[in-house]
Chain A
């Protein structure tokens, strides 16, 4: 069994899923943080549901949703796009389970930004989109980055939903957690240990990136560069 294929596949799936969660999670967080959305609580509960569900249930629901008998699946297969049992469905599964983490972190980060600073920028003539890009977003970046790291970690470790909707096809859809499970099941100690080491290594990289960034933006590492800070520390 080749160990390279699950590692590359896991990286690809986790990176694409995280990029997708960042774009959509941040977008949704912005929407919910700045506007009175009708039925807000219902929408938020729906986004958060995958955190409460056992992943197998999330996977089962995705399987039903994307399966050929559902309207969505039927439409996809009409277009010649069958996603079940492809790595794309692994990305979808990881996206769905990590979205709650991203959404919650981004929302908290956006709500934590001082309104007065945004208003000050507006009085100085900055348009809404520029206020968001140049004031709100930089100030919220540490929280957003934390959400991104959590989402990446969650996507990298995704097991239950992936197993259901992408299958466990060695060389095709078998990600690190699935390969690790298979190796432990089959008593292949050496393979299991290598995959475990890779997982630990990747986790360290994620944590290191986040903590380096946090130290930098707090200004006591990297020569006091106060990135993401518009006012001097009081």
Chain B
């Protein structure tokens, strides 16, 4: 009994010592942002804090989970989503401040392969389709995100369908739980080919994967890739939240987004 008591006593002491310092009076802006924005937003956080004169905290996750949290009243000020559907669902419930939504970014869907694979050069759309068809026919596996839950997987299915190639790969899909998992499959050679976003290729360690083909925007069949940002209705600092969105549209932020491979809207 004695040593059990000791374990508890020591642990509680550790817990108390490491308890957080009292939170200051400074205003805080909490941004719920899509996981794919983690690196670029983290790199912008100190500049953003200077610009808006308040502390900026990020909550990174899948857009669907972030939406559920806002629906249940999580104290979020700004929602920066990778899926327009989730933003529209919140707009419909009046949970976002009307008129604050800005579709800031877009992305490109790309086919990737291992470092030794060769990019496709199609001079005409028809030649590109033929090259894609023969490549996908000969491949043993194609890794994409699970289209039910992963936006990148949904876009992958759309572009393949537009190109009339989905039936070829239907039986040999390896479904990743998120887009970075798809990247990993190709990086470690589990799958010879994968479909991810251009930004994921830039985030991968150099030389580990190669971009083989970038699907043009019109192959997305009227569902453009968008990253909308908006102020949450429940925010206690709507004016500062607006300022943050202005900062995200400013030059410094645009440079960072462009460097990370995003397309600016």
- Give A residues with C-beta under 8 Å from B: 1, 8-9, 11-12, 15-16, 18-19, 22, 60, 63-64, 66-69, 73, 77, 82, 84-85, 87, 137-138, 141, 144-145, 148, 163-164, 167-173, 182, 184-187, 189, 209, 213, 216, 227-228
From A1, A19, A63, A138, B11 is in contact (CB under 8 Å) with: A19
From A8, A64, A85, A213, B59 is in contact (CB under 8 Å) with: A85
Binary interface encoding of chain B residues 156-175 relative to chain A, with 1 for a CB under 8 A from any of its CBs, else 0: 00000000000000000000
| A67 and B57 contact, Cβ closer than 8 Å, known pairs A12-B18, A16-B15, A187-B203 | no
Separation of A164 and B8 alpha carbons in the complex (Å): 28
- Please tell me which stretch of B72-80, B108-116, B122-130, B216-224 contacts chain A, meaning at least 4 of its Cβ atoms lie within 8 angstroms of it: B72-80
Interface status of B39 (Cβ within 8 A of chain A): yes
- State whether B11 touches A169 (Cβ < 8 A): no
| A169 and B15 contact, Cβ closer than 8 Å, known pairs A141-B4, A163-B65, A186-B38 | no
Interface status of B135 (Cβ within 8 A of chain A): no
A216: nearest residue on chain B (CB-CB)?
B3
| A164 and B69 contact, Cβ closer than 8 Å, known pairs A12-B15, A22-B8, A141-B1 | yes
From B12, B42, B60, B205, A168 is in contact (CB under 8 Å) with: B60
- State whether B204 touches A169 (Cβ < 8 A): no
B59: nearest residue on chain A (CB-CB)?
A167
- State whether B4 touches A169 (Cβ < 8 A): no
Interface status of B92 (Cβ within 8 A of chain A): no
Chain A residues positioned under 8 Å from B178 (CB to CB): 185
Separation of A167 and B67 alpha carbons in the complex (Å): 12
- State whether A69 touches B4 (Cβ < 8 A): no
- State whether B11 touches A15 (Cβ < 8 A): yes
Separation of A69 and B71 alpha carbons in the complex (Å): 9
From A9, A63, A141, A209, B72 is in contact (CB under 8 Å) with: A63
Separation of A137 and B68 alpha carbons in the complex (Å): 44
Chain A residues positioned under 8 Å from B11 (CB to CB): 15, 18-19
